Structure 1
Amino acid sequence: MIYLDNCATTEVDIDVADSAYKMMTECYGNASSPYGFGRDALHKITEARYQVAQVIAAPTERVFFTSGGTEANNLAIQGSLGTFAAKGKIITTSIEHASVLDACKYMGLQGYEVVFVSPRNGKIEAKDIIDQVDKDTRLVSVMAVNNETGEILPVKEISYGVKKKNPKVYFHCDCIQAYGKLSVSLNDIPADFITMSAHKIHGPKGCGAIYIRNQIPFKPLCYGGKQESMIRPGTENAAGIVAFGKAANNALKDMNKNWSYVHKLNQYLRDELHKVNDAVINSPENALPYVLNVSLPRLTTEEWLHVFRMNNICISGSSACGRGEKSRVIREMGITGRRADSVLRIGLSKKNTKEELDILMKIIKNVY
């Protein structure tokens, strides 16, 4: 099997899996228990919290664990807005992950005005977001990296521009595709909320995190416990959290090395695709190298996916959350017709090889 869907999820590193296994078999006490065995689990969770926080240069005590990126994004949006007595405006982009878009739409049903800023000339412009900020704006939510094209959004320019225009506005950055791959931290952006996920960086599924700036009023989504400072109550997923910490530590340590390696793979693939008659690369030149979006109009997306399945290659046509739907992000970029109907998203990782890409390209060229 050749796995090229690393935007959807990643293979868990062996040392990460080992850390989870040891927690489940050797340190399985409840972290809220008063005795030593439970305290051992709490200590491991605290260490993991530090490791996860280090990647974004956040204070350890302001990082809270969740069941994944979707819950973290919903916490950032619903939790921050749930404390306002008067409704106001939410600003986001039309190319956000479904967990952000749908959470914003839900808040729209609660009385908030929601503004979806669309790409201009194929990309999000900071000015278009900043121009929408007014005295009634409560929250701006923008992803650091688009999960379908790899576009790196200008979150530094956006966040500072938003805060300059209205310092009271909350800024949420969905860093789920960027975390551990691209340096995005509190040293760079004045974020009030940053959301992360373990399974995008060779960690386990079912474990995410949210950074919440100190002294921000916050309304949790769930009640019934004091875990995670009551931001996200419930018995902690200690094994997942410790594995997340290990994956975060690995990602931070090897970030530059992994970037360089994957960038070479990405560039090689771009060069090979340029040799294909009507191939069109939809990802920007300066996109995150872990993502390459391409249109191959000889077949439709569905037909290409069938070809790849027959050859035991894992590739998607859009976000995994879309469940087979055509790419909304591509449509928002203004791409239509056969080009929009033949989109493929190739998700690269540190575990892929040039030899795998050669096999992929051989299959594509055989179709042509």
Structure 2
Amino acid sequence: MHKQQLANMAGLIRTNIGDGKLKRTYLDNAATTPVRSEVLEAMLPYFTQKFGNASTIYSYGREAKEALEESRKNVAQLIGANTEEIFFTSGGTESDNWALRGAVSANVKKGKHVITSSVEHHAVLYTCRDLEKQGFKITYLPVDKDGLINVKDVADAITDETILVSIMHANNEIGTIQPINEIAKIIKQKNPEIIFHTDAVQTAGKIPVNVNNLGVDLLSMSAHKIYGPKGVGALYIRKGTRIAPFMTGGAQESSRRAGTENIAGIVGFGKAAELAECEQQEQYERLTLLRDRLMQGILNTIPYTRLNGHPTLRLPHNVNISFEFIEGESILLNLDMKGICASSGSACTSGSLDPSHVLLAIGLPHEIAHGSLRLTLGRENSEEDVDYVLEVLPSIINKLRQMSPLFAKRKEQPKNV
């Protein structure tokens, strides 16, 4: 779509939403979630009355330190970890960076080989590219058409030089859940000293995540994916795992991540983790029903569509579908004009015109990968929201296809690719 067309459409969106008459339907919960009222209420005192530095020994500092450790306990309980194994960061990206850079730095004398997958978040992939420039060898494992890693591929890729494996728990774009426990067993059978990291930013608080059941040594999390504040996350580091500090300059986080702690943010993360643990099963069941209703509704009513990701081994809130003959950006803008917020992939790459690396990795051609839509449900969504999407989306797709020269030239083929 041309820049001028995009600008004109964006102007219409601002006009329609600005009049206050359009109902907002938020379906991009994989990108971020609103801070829950309970979380905000827990955070507020730590901006004003309880503003102490947790490194000081007087009452204000002790108060902040107690809140810090209580939050650490809540986050640890969410993933079945010990409290002392949780280290707070600025978010999932920092946690991923620390996991990779810290692990290779501390273990470089044992080897310089890292294994990851072709569908990781860019926080992992770009870090791996940087490590390659530093002389490390990186193996990028392929995935099948549903986005799944073949466990045998992991086993075959391990060499005497392998020091780290990083495979995400579930994909942020297509929602496929990886067999992390099986991968962990293979790694430890091959070499117990290999460090295994998983990016659980999209899974912690949404599906059962227990570090002991998964068998991982390092695990990344982020608060704003579970109705907590932005700018705070955590890295789980199994006791005994060799990993270098990420930031130096102070004794915070057991001298592994220096800098005055974001107490308000950490308190918010702790409260969000506590609530997520209590409500996880209920939300999982509810969102799975909504997801399937939305997924089947789109596939059954709109021709030339394809579900991306595994049909059952997927996150309970994720629906990712490709629409032939049209571009994802135009779908998003038309949905926004109807008050529906969605995405075409990772929020971290939403400004890019390149097709999703995840969709290319599962075998989609560029032209189909460009026409993809990700709808991710949350705790505030209802059947009414799903039905609204199913009401407006078919006409949007039909309108855009009528404008598409590719659609006009289509050849006879099955309706679902």
For 2:218 and 2:140, locate their aligned partners in 1 and report how far apart those are by CA, in whole Å: 19
The residue aligned with 1:147 is 172
The residue aligned with 1:68 is 91
* 2:107–2:242 contact (8 Å) kept in structure 1: no
Q: Secondary structure at the match of 2:159?
A: coil
Q: Are residues 1:234 and 2:263 paired?
A: no
* 2:106–2:242 contact (8 Å) kept in structure 1: yes
The residue aligned with 2:306 is 280
* 1:134–1:166 contact (8 Å) kept in structure 2: no
Q: Kindly state the Cα deviation for residue 306 of structure 1 after the two structures are TM-superposed.
A: 1.4
For 2:152 and 2:82, locate their aligned partners in 1 and report how far apart those are by CA, in whole Å: 30
For 1:142 and 1:3, locate their aligned partners in 2 and report how far apart those are by CA, in whole Å: 29
Q: Kindly state the Cα deviation for residue 140 of structure 1 after the two structures are TM-superposed.
A: 0.2
For 1:347 and 1:250, locate their aligned partners in 2 and report how far apart those are by CA, in whole Å: 20
Q: What is the letter of the counterpart of residue 150 of structure 2?
A: E
The residue aligned with 1:362 is 391
Q: How does 1:64-143 map to 2 (within 5 A)?
A: 64-86=87-109, 87-122=111-146, 123-143=148-168
Q: Are residues 1:39 and 2:65 paired?
A: no
Query: Deviations along 1:61-107, whole A, 9 cap, x unmatched?
Result: 11000000000011100011112343421000010000011111111
Moved more, 332-341 or 35-44: 332-341
* 2:325–2:368 contact (8 Å) kept in structure 1: no
Q: How does 1:192-271 map to 2 (within 5 A)?
A: 192-271=217-296
* 1:160–1:189 contact (8 Å) kept in structure 2: no
For 2:327 and 2:243, locate their aligned partners in 1 and report how far apart those are by CA, in whole Å: 46
Unaligned ranges ≥5, structure 2: 1-23, 399-417
What do you get for the CA RMSD once the two structures are aligned?
Answer: 1.2
The residue aligned with 1:20 is 43
The residue aligned with 1:321 is 348
For 2:276 and 2:231, locate their aligned partners in 1 and report how far apart those are by CA, in whole Å: 18
For 2:175 and 2:304, locate their aligned partners in 1 and report how far apart those are by CA, in whole Å: 21
Comparing both structures, which one devotes a greater share of its residues to helix?
Answer: 2
For 1:76 and 1:85, locate their aligned partners in 2 and report how far apart those are by CA, in whole Å: 14
Q: What is the letter of the counterpart of residue 332 of structure 1?
A: A
For 2:239 and 2:66, locate their aligned partners in 1 and report how far apart those are by CA, in whole Å: 22
Q: What is the letter of the counterpart of residue 105 of structure 1?
A: R
Tell me which structure has the larger Cα radius of gyration: 2
Distance 1:152 1:18, change over 3 A: same
Identity fraction in percent:
38
Q: Kindly state the Cα deviation for residue 217 of structure 1 after the two structures are TM-superposed.
A: 2.7
Q: Secondary structure at the match of 1:224?
A: coil
Q: Kindly state the Cα deviation for residue 215 of structure 1 after the two structures are TM-superposed.
A: 2.2
Query: Deviations along 1:264-301, whole A, 9 cap, x unmatched?
Result: 11011022112222222113111112111001225311
For 1:3 and 1:297, locate their aligned partners in 2 and report how far apart those are by CA, in whole Å: 24
User: TM-score, with normalisation over the residues of structure 1?
Assistant: 0.97
* 1:318–1:324 contact (8 Å) kept in structure 2: no
For 2:329 and 2:390, locate their aligned partners in 1 and report how far apart those are by CA, in whole Å: 18
* 2:301–2:394 contact (8 Å) kept in structure 1: no
For 1:303 and 1:69, locate their aligned partners in 2 and report how far apart those are by CA, in whole Å: 29
Q: Are residues 1:11 and 2:41 paired?
A: no
For 1:324 and 1:290, locate their aligned partners in 2 and report how far apart those are by CA, in whole Å: 23
Q: How does 1:327-338 map to 2 (within 5 A)?
A: 327-338=356-367
Q: Kindly state the Cα deviation for residue 329 of structure 1 after the two structures are TM-superposed.
A: 0.3
Q: What is the letter of the counterpart of residue 51 of structure 2?
A: Y
For 1:114 and 1:163, locate their aligned partners in 2 and report how far apart those are by CA, in whole Å: 19
For 2:189 and 2:99, locate their aligned partners in 1 and report how far apart those are by CA, in whole Å: 21
Match of 1:187 among 212, 216, 223: 212
Moved over 6 A (4+): none
For 1:284 and 1:291, locate their aligned partners in 2 and report how far apart those are by CA, in whole Å: 11
Moved more, 38-47 or 299-308: 299-308
The residue aligned with 1:352 is 381
